[in-house]
Structure 1
Amino acid sequence: MRISDFWRLMDDEFGAGYSRVLSSSLSLAGVGGRTADEALASGINPRDVWLAMCDVQDVPAERRLGRDIKPSPS
């Protein structure tokens, strides 16, 4: 997963403003008690950070891959 995918998932799930608050202030047990920002800065895989965020925030399994975007009609 790319960092841009991580931020897209964060923004889709929590909103653009709140996702930044969560990433800078919420300690994630799944990445050693770091915040998402700290974990990403230290080189932890964005997918692992995303899954740790999902665990702490109780994101249901069906939303962990992101929202479904319907293709536009051609």
Structure 2
Amino acid sequence: MRYTLFAKLVHDEFGQAQGEWILHSHVLAAHGKTANELVEDGEDLKQVWETLCDDFRIPAERRLGQDTDK
């Protein structure tokens, strides 16, 4: 996953401002670090996204982003 897709998924799900806040302040339960720290450490972006989804109980049908074919 590229960072642009990761950022889009975060912003689509949480909104721009709240998404940015979550990335730099929410400590992911499974890792003990924020998403931004994990990204800086070179962690797989798909795994970081999945962990965010788990922490915030995002249902499976919303984990792939918004449908833009409309």
Instruction: Provide the TM-score with structure 1 as the length reference.
Output: 0.90
Q: Unaligned stretches of 5+ in structure 2? A: none
Q: Unaligned stretches of 5+ in structure 1? A: none
Number of aligned pairs?
Answer: 70
Q: Deviations over 1:20-69 (max 9, x none)?
A: 00001111123x21100000000001101000000001101000011111
CA distance in 2, matches of 1:24, 1:15: 14
Q: Percent identity?
A: 40
* Highest RCO, 1 vs 2 (Cα 8 Å, sep ≥ 6): 2
Large movers: runs of 4+ above 3 Å? none
Pairwise CA RMSD: 0.9
Instruction: Provide the TM-score with structure 2 as the length reference.
Output: 0.94
